[in-house]
Amino acid sequence: MEPSKEPTEAPVKTRPAPRPVPARFLVSKRTLHFDRFMTSAIVFGGLGIVVAVFGIFGFILSQIIPLFGKAHIRKAAEIPMAYQEGGVLGLDEWSELPFFYDGGSEIAFYPMSGTGEAAEPRKESVGLPEGAVVSAYRYDAVSQTLIVGTADGRAGLVKIGYSAAEVDGKRAVSAKVESQPFLPLNEATPAPVRAIDYKDSGDRKLFAVIQGDGAGARVGVVTLRQQRSLLGKGTVKVEGYADLTDQLDGSQPVDILAAGTADSLIVRTEANELFYLFLSGDQWTVRQRFTPFEGTGETVAGLGYLFGDVSLVVYSTGGRVRIYSLFIKEGEKARTFGLTKELHPLRDGITHYFASQRNKSFLVANDHEVALCYATTESVRKTMELPFRAGSLAMDAKAEHAGFIDREAGRLHLFEIDDPHPEAGWRAFFAEIWYEGFAKPKYEWQSTSGTDDFEPKLSLTPLIIGSLKGTLYAMLFAVPIAVLAAIYVSQFMHPDVKRLVKPLMEIMASLPSVVLGFLAALWLAPLIEARVPSVLTIIVLIPVVAALIGYAWSHTPVSFRNRMPMGGEYLILIPAVLAAGWIGWNLGPAVERQLFVATMPGGERIADFRLWWPQFSGLPYDQRNCLVVGFMMGFAVIPVIFTIAEDALSNVPPSIISASEALGASRWQVVRTVVLPIAAAGIFSALMIGLGRAVGETMIVVMATGNTPVMDEMGRLLFGEAGIGNGQFPIADHWNLFNGMRTLSANIAVELPEAAVGSTHYRSLFLGALVLFLMTFVLNTVAEVLRQRLREKFKIV
């Protein structure tokens, strides 16, 4: 037996030890740590930028969203209050000491206890003459004046003043009643006062009254004068009495209103007609007579002025509200009332009306329903059912509280009104609005004025149009120059000259826009104001001369062209262009004398483009206009477009260009068929970046355009008497080259520092910022999609 063999193990193959890495290829730990740190910093910075952008966007949205909120009316308090039919309710600024007057000899003030328990009213005398009986009264909440007429034909004023003081850490409101002497209205034929109103415009004061009953009722106006001296105001005396009954053509008056200017009256008659009487010199005349609800089957239930006494609110027995505003109608010379707005806020007839003392909002109500309306936007902000039968109605000076008296239970119900932005809304920002004093609806931006009764005009449409106008005219000027210059410099210019031109253009891009705006406003605008024909001649002449030189050069013998150094054609072109510009500038007056002649009213003909343009187009001519903006903002955009487009053209692979030339293509053929398609994506990017620069430009627009947010209308002279300018092409109405404008960015820069934080004006400016962001976002998105398609279409495989 052979001895068994033990199995032998296979030899283990071992890897050779790695060769040592030379020290010069080793990366130090310090470098690796720094690399990791920088990677983390870049990631963190990128995320931070994203968070910051979304944070800014969120902040803008937080400022804008309240503009589109609804109004809210909530129950705040309730106290007992004695009520009598026909009485008037008044609220102080804080709604803590309301009063009620029922036509007696005293005014009752009711402190708001906050517990709803009965509080002892404090009564103040109205200062009636002995034996006098009140027959008519009206409360003017704006002046806090109770206007009282008596049965013996006298009238007086009762001023109600409020003051607040701190008592034991709480506000305590007190009232002071000051009665003025009662004056006889018509001593010759005294009669009971049935309706009364009073207005004080400073130098003119008047009582407007209806005296007598039935067919014997008469309308009268008493003018007052108050002597003034160095010691202060003197006593008020009756200056004159005017009987206006004959002006009504036999109609029986039932109500009367006086305007705040104390020079006009509105008289309502039993036949539901309104007479508008105006004081011209010392004579009262009927300026207008109209029936507010003619053809509707409804009758006038009442009327009252909006805050400012320019618009008249007439409400009907069918729950309808019509607003008539004063404006000059076409073909007329004086302001008359015209229907501008109509609402139907309540289902049943309206019995109560109260205008806000803060803005153009107002309350209308009946026995069981109330509606808060805003006149400017023709909107019903809030409608609410009342769980009681409402008697008198009032609203405080801040429009923060409204009071209703339950006529059956004799209790005052105080409601809190939360409507901080009634002026806002989609219609206010983007639709045509018929503003007070305007002959028709318009897009208008005018956020502030010098009077409290101003009606804010917050349409963003003129600002959007202004942004588009400025951008369009700047790009029209900049794009041809920048792109053609980039093509020439990258493909034709001598390299030595190119090394000089490219840095100069990049330096131009760094010029501050405020400097360019300063030059546009103080140098360029006055320079071309009277030389528009010269500018137009230059715009036509230079391209024509350049094209003729190019045509002539292309037909010049090759032997002659070869004498010119490659890329040196500019030595011929620049002097020719300068000469064409000089000739066009000096030829402008001759062109003006031939083409731009205006006919003056006396028949005299004057060669002046500034006079000819309004006659021809019906549009204004301003010194600081879109033409100036186009030149100067285009000058700011040209370097941006040129630099990026030139880089894109220069980065076309030289091998492709050489191959095209080897196949016999000329230099222009190479550029047109090879270079431009390959560089199309880069050129398009340059145009979009230039467009973004133009859209966001602020200082040039502010200084060079007059900064006026207007949208002009094309007169019928634009295309003769054919009527083409009469709205058949409304888009042409808004693109006047020779008027001013305001852009969204300029509007934000000018008005944001003066806007009260949290106000409607303040939030509207942020809405303008969002619109500007959305405009640029949409443009950039579309541009990126087109750029990617161009890149895919012309990519080099």
Strand partners, 208: 197, 221
Mean pLDDT of 733-740: 73
- Residues 91-144 have pLDDT tens digits of 999 999 999 999 999 999 999 875 556 578 899 999 999 889 999 999 999 999
- Residues 399-437 have pLDDT tens digits of 999 999 998 888 999 999 999 999 999 999 999 999 999
Query: Which band of pLDDT confidence, cut at 50, 70 and 90, is reported for residue 716?
Result: very low
> What is the per-residue pLDDT for 114?
59
Mean pLDDT of 8-27: 66
Question: Cα separation of 72 and 113, whole Å?
Answer: 24
Query: Which band of pLDDT confidence, cut at 50, 70 and 90, is reported for residue 228?
Result: low
- Residues 383-399 have pLDDT tens digits of 999 999 998 999 999 99
CA-closest candidate to residue 697, choices 646, 765, 748, 627: 748
CA-closest candidate to residue 534, choices 469, 619, 591, 613: 591
Question: Cα separation of 210 and 153, whole Å?
Answer: 10
Residue 438, phi then psi, degrees to nearest 5: -95, 145
Structural contact between residues 418 and 76, judged by C-beta atoms closer than 8 angstroms: no
Residues sharing a CB contact under 8 Å with residue 654, sequence separation 6 or more, in sequence order: none
> What is the per-residue pLDDT for 720?
35
Residues sharing a CB contact under 8 Å with residue 607, sequence separation 6 or more, in sequence order: 589, 592, 593, 596, 597, 598
Q: What's the Cα-to-Cα distance from 695 to each of 463, 634, 692, 720, 731, rounded to whole Å?
A: 12, 11, 5, 34, 20
Residues sharing a CB contact under 8 Å with residue 598, sequence separation 6 or more, in sequence order: 605, 606, 607, 608, 611, 612, 615
Question: Cα separation of 580 and 73, whole Å?
Answer: 72
Quick one: CA dihedral 477, 483, 489, 491, positive or negative?
negative
> What is the per-residue pLDDT for 352?
94
The most distant pair of C-alpha atoms in the chain lies apart, rounded to whole Å, by 167
Structural contact between residues 623 and 640, judged by C-beta atoms closer than 8 angstroms: no
Mean pLDDT of 660-665: 85
Please provide the average confidence, as pLDDT, over all residues in the chain: 86
> What is the per-residue pLDDT for 229?
62
Query: Which band of pLDDT confidence, cut at 50, 70 and 90, is reported for residue 693?
Result: confident
> Rg for the chain (alpha carbons), in Å?
39
> What is the per-residue pLDDT for 134?
93
Question: Cα separation of 463 and 744, whole Å?
Answer: 5
What is the DSSP track for 497-551?
Answer: HHHHHHHHHHHHTTS-HHHHHHHIIIIIHHHHHS-HHHHHHHHHHHHHHHHHHHH
Q: At what angle do helices 495-508 and 626-650 cross, to 10 degrees?
A: 140
- Ramachandran sector of residue 605 (left: φ over 0; alpha: ψ -120 to 50; beta: rest): beta
What are the start-end ranges of the E strands in 42-144?
Answer: 72-80, 88-90, 99-101, 106-109, 122-125, 134-140
Query: Percent of the chain having pLDDT more than 70?
Result: 91
Question: Cα separation of 535 and 596, whole Å?
Answer: 14
Whether residue 560 is predicted with pLDDT greater than 90 in this model: the reply is no
* Strand 401-406 relative to strand 232-243, pairing: unpaired
Mean pLDDT of 141-168: 92
> What is the per-residue pLDDT for 204?
82
> What is the per-residue pLDDT for 723?
34
> What is the per-residue pLDDT for 729?
38
One-letter amino acid of 442: K
Mean pLDDT of 316-324: 94
Vertex 65 angle, CA 62 and 69, to 5°: 140
Mean pLDDT of 597-621: 86
DSSP 726: I
- Residues 265-301 have pLDDT tens digits of 999 999 999 999 999 888 899 999 999 998 888 999 9
> What is the per-residue pLDDT for 328?
93
Q: Which two tokens stand for residue 404?
A: 């209703």
Structural contact between residues 638 and 644, judged by C-beta atoms closer than 8 angstroms: no
DSSP H helical segments within 401-531, as ranges?
A: 426-430, 461-491, 495-508, 513-519, 525-529
Q: Which two tokens stand for residue 730?
A: 């409304």
Structural contact between residues 478 and 637, judged by C-beta atoms closer than 8 angstroms: yes
One-letter amino acid of 773: F
> What is the per-residue pLDDT for 426?
92
Question: Cα separation of 609 and 590, whole Å?
Answer: 12
One-letter amino acid of 245: T
Q: Which two tokens stand for residue 142?
A: 């704006």
Residues sharing a CB contact under 8 Å with residue 4, sequence separation 6 or more, in sequence order: none
Q: Which two tokens stand for residue 41?
A: 């910093």
Whether residue 3 is predicted with pLDDT greater than 60 in this model: the reply is no
Distance, C-alpha 67 to centroid of its chain: 14
Residue whose entry in the numeric block shows the structure tokens 């106006």? 221
Whether residue 504 is predicted with pLDDT greater than 50 in this model: the reply is yes
Structural contact between residues 162 and 154, judged by C-beta atoms closer than 8 angstroms: no
Q: How many residues does the chain have?
A: 797
Whether residue 197 is predicted with pLDDT greater than 80 in this model: the reply is yes
Question: Cα separation of 368 and 704, whole Å?
Answer: 58
Query: Which band of pLDDT confidence, cut at 50, 70 and 90, is reported for residue 23?
Result: low
Query: Which band of pLDDT confidence, cut at 50, 70 and 90, is reported for residue 718?
Result: very low
DSSP H helical segments within 12-154, as ranges?
A: 29-64
Residue 511, phi then psi, degrees to nearest 5: -65, 130
Whether residue 261 is predicted with pLDDT greater than 60 in this model: the reply is yes
> What is the per-residue pLDDT for 562?
78
Whether residue 786 is predicted with pLDDT greater than 60 in this model: the reply is yes
Question: Cα separation of 441 and 431, whole Å?
Answer: 9
Question: Cα separation of 453 and 305, whole Å?
Answer: 12
Residue whose entry in the numeric block shows the structure tokens 């501050």? 512
Residues sharing a CB contact under 8 Å with residue 599, sequence separation 6 or more, in sequence order: 605, 615
Q: Which two tokens stand for residue 720?
A: 């003769």
DSSP 96: S
Question: Cα separation of 734 and 291, whole Å?
Answer: 37
> What is the per-residue pLDDT for 232?
59
> What is the per-residue pLDDT for 727?
39
Query: Which band of pLDDT confidence, cut at 50, 70 and 90, is reported for residue 239?
Result: confident
Structural contact between residues 533 and 609, judged by C-beta atoms closer than 8 angstroms: yes
- DSSP-based three-state secondary structure for 376: coil
Question: Cα separation of 602 and 263, whole Å?
Answer: 37
> What is the per-residue pLDDT for 721?
37
Distance, C-alpha 204 to centroid of its chain: 35
Quick one: CA dihedral 687, 690, 695, 700, positive or negative?
negative
Whether residue 326 is predicted with pLDDT greater than 90 in this model: the reply is yes
Question: Cα separation of 705 and 739, whole Å?
Answer: 8
Residue whose entry in the numeric block shows the structure tokens 């962001």? 773
CA-closest candidate to residue 125, choices 107, 99, 137, 140: 107
